[in-house]
A = this chain, B = another copy of it.
Amino acid sequence: MSEIQRPGALYQQVAAAIREAILSGEFEPDALLPSEAQLMARYGVSRPTVRNAIAALRAEGLIDVRHGKGSYVRTSQQPALTLERRITCTTDGTFVMPNGDAWDEAEQPSTYRTRTTTGTGRLLQLGAEEALFGCDRLLIDPSSGTRAMHRTLIPFTTAEGIPLLTEEPSTRPAEIYGLLTQDGQKLTWSETVRARMPLPDERTTLRLPDATPVLHLARVTHGTDGRSLILEELRTGADRAELAYRITADKQPTRRTRA
């Protein structure tokens, strides 16, 4: 019957008490919290109030609830998968960006034709309703089991120069880059990182727990003339994955920096 007071609603007081107990280490990671009935007795409140408090903690990603079992303190896990972006500038001016990610494909890629939306059009520097080739993949990292949704979008204008693309649209991205550089094009990248809550279909296909955002990575590749050639999107759960940009220079860097 530990009494609680102060900040606003009852369920928030209960949530704050439990949260504090978790963060202070009173409940270890993976520990089983008291059941709803026990919390009702402990704080002298009704079941909806307890459930409301628990819902708040779920939304914060602090706990996981299993039907028939109870509430568990979520292990604030280190990410199981680091998407490495190594960017090196060597003395001879060579520019390397290897990417060690080795995904497996969980399904057959599905290819289709579509048109730009406001979002993809902005990234590709195209107007609305421009024709695109699309290819969706479901990727799995074999070592950690992390899933990711991958999408390749190629404007018709890019594909026209590369007959192979229209014939075999499911060509793997790595091979596409080989095709694009065949004619001596120099490529540059622009990677945009965003995070948001998943839509229901993303929750299921990515097998995301509660309160887990998705990392949304969009990579646009430009040719020598600055034209946008291809857009790749990768969506994956932010609970298991992180992005790491490793920036190395052999020469003394010149920079103004802040934050």
Contact = CB atoms under 8 A, between A and B. Distances in A.
A116 to B, nearest CB: 15
A253 B101 CA distance: 18
A78 B118 CA distance: 10
A195 B173 contact: no
Given A93-B251, A195-B215, A242-B193, A259 B60 contact: no
Interface range on chain A (Cβ under 8 Å from partner): 35 or more
A34 interface: no
Assembly stoichiometry (copies): 2
A249 interface: yes
Given A259-B101, A259-B139, A252 B186 contact: yes
Given A173-B259, A258-B103, A59 B95 contact: no
Nearest to A152: B259
Interface stretch (A37-45, A124-132, A196-204): A196-204
B99 A186 contact: no
Contacts of A6: none
A173 B244 CA distance: 21
A213 to B, nearest CB: 4
Interface stretch (A84-92, A106-114, A157-165): A84-92
A79 interface: yes
B257 A193 contact: no
